[in-house]
Amino acid sequence: MLSVAVLNLSILKACASIGALEVGKVIHNEIDFQGLLKDDDILGDAIVDMYAKCGALEAARQVLNDLPVQSVVSWNALMMSYCQKGLAEQVLTRFEWIEEKGIPPIQVTYLCVLKAYGIIGAADNAEHIHYEIAR
């Protein structure tokens, strides 16, 4: 039998894939009601990802801010959506925040930052990130 967490994750992923924001909100509310976020970082990541992929970037940002533990996965979901919308400054601001919080970036994080620098035409900054990745 599937656990509640696995079921919720599956539904959130499906909502993100098809843009079913309203269903995703219902699932998010139920997760909050049951208090499941305090014990499951992966559910938090999935909620942020669902909102971000559905284009509800402010909701994704708010959920991320409220998570008990902010993971690089959640930050990447938000940053990738900002990239897709051409919001390069938002990506770069979030990158600074995760560095300040001591959250180690991963490949996807750097991809978002490089794309953001490409959007604003900051080749020198992109070169700096390239060297950071190569270290």
The pLDDT assigned to 1 comes to 46
- Does 86 share its domain with 132? yes
The pLDDT assigned to 135 comes to 66
Write the pLDDT tens digit of every residue in 5-54: 789 999 999 999 999 999 999 999 999 999 888 878 899 999 999 999 99
Domain that holds residue 97: 70-135
- Does 16 share its domain with 29? yes
Q: What total of structural domains would you count in the chain? A: 2
Q: Of 17, 38, 69, which closes a domain?
A: 69
In whole numbers, what is the pLDDT of the chain averaged over residues? 90
Residue 1, token pair as written in the block: 């039998």
What pTM does this model have? 0.88
53-57 mean pLDDT: 96
